[in-house]
Chains A and B, each alone.
Chain A
Amino acid sequence: MTAIQTALKAPAAPAFDVERIRADFPILKLEIGGKPLVYLDNAASSQMPQPVINRLVRYQTTQHANVNRGVHYLSETATSAYEEARGKVQRFMNAREDREVIFTSGTTDAINLVMHGYGRKFIEPGDEIILTTLEHHSNIVPWQMLAEEKGAKIRVVPINDSGELLIDEYEKLFNARTKFVGITHVSNALGTINPVKRMIAFAHAHGVPVLVDGAQAVPHMKVDVQDLDCDFYAFSGHKLCGPTGIGVLYGNAALLERMQPFKGGGDMILSVTFEKTTYNTIPHKFEAGTPPIAAAIGLGAAIDYLSAIGMDAIGAHESDLLEYATEQMNRLRGVRIIGTAAKKAAVLSFAIDGVHPHDVGTLLNQDGIAVRTGHHCAQPVMQRFRVPATSRASFAFYNSMAEVEALITGIRTVQKVFA
């Protein structure tokens, strides 16, 4: 029995029993060079609980065949499990219909799908695309490629010293040439939670569609695409306790139907002759070739797992971790937190005076602590704060207060080595 099932049967148990949750994650029992693993690189990729691993094993051992093809038992079983996963994603994001959920290989693939499917069809020379300083490279580079191809222009929303978007500046960027907006829901480098609902409403008032990069938001908070009223929403499975190689693009059905396919191949067609090909209906129009079936089913299992704990409970625990870590880190002399927005997800980017982030990362690793060091694929953010790189601790719901303390002790050790 998993901790979650146990927890569900014990309503009188404490609201959030992190030790019971940790017991579900086999990898958290690892030791790194004799030290217990303290995994604080969740913004890069999260770990997988046993129920999700078990689901993958069950699929692979008893249900696998290609989908949407054979009339045989296994193909029907695999197809139904794959489509069931789509339904789970639909309910998780509160999409109107399951055909608005497209399986991709990840957030990057989902954004590229929108760039090719929507951007290449509808963006014209002289048009403007609004992005923000906080974007991950994956929500910058595809749009730069499009801008170059079409002769369009990228406009960038600036941030303040806390790492918050300047909404007045965002609103001032709109004009008759504005044709598309791409915003990250949560900054991967700083943790800033952006006011996307308000930004979407403003863009819609100007008739401009909005894509939200939700890679760092979906694992930490309840996301309701109807409430946000976004046109596109992208996220990755592996940051959500699911497998790598799977991601989701939510798209408004009316927009998806007007878009051109991104990839051509099997499954995305209704009929093919050398004279003319008729494309399949959504979502299949955008899922050419054999999809990542096992990974999609694994993502469905991860959503079940997270939903059983509850996204609100997850958010509350992570917020406690962030508050404690921030308070502890603020007490360390010579340590500066980069990104101090009023609304943040559990991400702490920091700089230690006189110590390069790569040395910080290598030394923390010696205490079994995994953090990310580097530019976090967000070089515009680094340039804004005039640092080449930062160290970043990013928390998940399975992290404990003891791990926050291990991080603080680890930072003190780094400072001693470099004293």
Chain B
Amino acid sequence: MADPRALYQEVILDHNRKPRNYGALEHASHHAEGDNPLCGDHISVSLDFDGERIGGIAFQGESCAICKASASMMTVNVKGKTRADAETLIQEFRDMATGKLDLNSHHHIGRLAVFAGVRDLPTRVKCAILPWHTLHAALNSVASISTEAEDDPMHASIGDA
């Protein structure tokens, strides 16, 4: 098992203290709300998205450090990306958080690898994934998602808060 202390690395603490792209876009084309009712994490993602490319992205919400840092780094990573590239990154991030991604194989995770440690902390996986899941909803014009909803593609019972 990786040292879970490694999860709270300086880069994560820095993004938690000074989240990038924090707030709401004035003329957002797409928007989604994400909730984790078990711990009260709430996050909203707004996009300037023409159907092809993510021109702008912002997020805001109340959450733990893991969720906030994940959201902040997500916005930095997907701004300017095409839908296909963003969806690939969403999938890879999710696979990494759940321990399914082989970090030695070809991937696009880059510095997001600092979140790899959550795979050893089952109760924290959803904290890291929530922003990505909300981005996925926004890209697909789904207004809101919950980590506990039956139709949630990432729905997995991993313990009560």
User: Are these two chains actual partners, yes or no?
Assistant: yes
Query: Of A355, A365, A374, which contacts B161 at CB under 8 A?
Result: A374
Tally of A-B Cβ pairs under 8 angstroms? 51
Bound-state Cα–Cα, A358 to B121, Å:
11
- For residue B77, CB closer than 8 A to chain A, the reply is no
Chain B residues whose C-beta falls within 8 Å of the C-beta of A356 in the assembled complex: 63-65
Q: Which residue of B lies closest to A387 (CB)?
A: B40
Bound Cα distance from A365 to B3, whole angstroms: 12
Please indicate the chain A residues that have their CB under 8 angstroms from the CB of B160 in the complex. 374, 377
Contacts of A388 on B, CB cut-off 8 Å? 39-41, 62
Whether A359 pairs with B66 at a CB distance below 8 angstroms is yes
Within 8 A of B (CB), among A373-419: 373-375, 377, 382, 388-389, 417-418
Q: Which residues of the other chain, B, contact A382 by a CB distance below 8 angstroms?
A: 40
Is A366 part of the binding interface, using a Cβ–Cβ cutoff of 8 Å? Answer: yes
For residue A363, CB closer than 8 A to chain B, the reply is: yes
Cβ of B129 < 8 Å from any Cβ of A? Answer: no
Q: Are B62 and A358 in contact (CB under 8 A)?
A: no
Task: Tell me the bound Cα distance from A362 to B12 in angstroms.
Answer: 14
B4 contacts A366, CB within 8 Å? yes
Query: Which residues of chain A come closer than 8 Å to B8, judged between CB atoms?
Result: 359, 362-363, 417
Q: Is the beta-carbon distance between A362 and B4 smaller than 8 angstroms?
A: yes
Query: Interface 1/0s, chain B 1-22, versus A by CB < 8 A?
Result: 0011101100001001000000
A300 to B84 CA separation, bound complex (whole angstroms): 62
Alpha-carbon separation in the docked complex, A33 to B2 (Å): 11
Instruction: Tell me the residues in window 24-56 of chain B with beta carbons closer than 8 Å to chain A beta carbons.
Output: 38-41
For residue B83, CB closer than 8 A to chain A, the reply is: no
Residue B139 CB within 8 A of the other chain = no
Contacts of A355 in B (CB 8 A): 65
A362–B16 CA distance with the chains assembled, in angstroms:
16
Q: With an 8 A cutoff between CB atoms, is B127 at the interface? A: yes
Min CB–CB distance A68 → chain B (angstroms): 35
- Interface: B124 (CB within 8 A): yes
A-contact bits for B122-161, CB 8 A (1 contact / 0 none): 0110010000000000000000000000000000000011
Report which of B3, B4, B16, B124 forms a contact with A358, defined as CB distance below 8 A: B124
> A358 contacts B39, CB within 8 Å?
yes
Nearest CB in chain A: distance from B6 CB, A: 10
Q: Which of B88-105 contact A (CB under 8 A)?
A: none
- Say yes or no: A375-B65 contact (C-beta < 8 A), given A388-B39, A389-B40, A417-B13: no
In-complex Cβ contact of B39 among A365, A366, A374, A418 (8 A): A374
Most buried by A among B7, B38, B66, B161: B161
Q: What is the bound-complex CA distance between A373 and B123, given in angstroms? A: 11
Of all chain A residues, which has the CB nearest B7? Answer: A362
Contact A365 B4 (CB under 8 A): yes
Q: Of A357, A374, A418, which one neighbours B13 at CB under 8 angstroms?
A: A418
In the complex, are the beta carbons of A389 and B65 less than 8 A apart?
no
Select one of A366, A374, A418 contacting B65, CB under 8 A.
A418
Residues of A within 8 A of B39 (CB): 357-358, 374-375, 388-389
List chain A residues, Cβ under 8 A from B123: 358
Q: Give Cα distance in the complex from A359 to B121, angstroms.
A: 12
The residue in chain A whose Cβ has the minimal distance to the Cβ of B124 is A362
Q: Contact at B127–A358, with CB atoms within 8 Å? A: yes
Query: Can you list 27 contacts pairing A with B, beta carbon distance less than 8 Å?
Result: A355-B65, A356-B63, A356-B65, A357-B64, A358-B64, A358-B66, A358-B123, A358-B124, A358-B127, A359-B8, A359-B64, A362-B121, A362-B124, A363-B8, A365-B4, A366-B4, A374-B160, A374-B161, A375-B161, A377-B160, A382-B40, A388-B40, A388-B41, A389-B161, A417-B13, A418-B13, A418-B16
Seed contacts A357-B64, A359-B66; 6 additional CB < 8 Å A-B pairs: A363-B5, A366-B5, A374-B38, A374-B160, A389-B39, A389-B40
Residues of A within 8 A of B (CB): 33, 355-359, 362-363, 365-366, 373-375, 377, 382, 388-389, 417-418
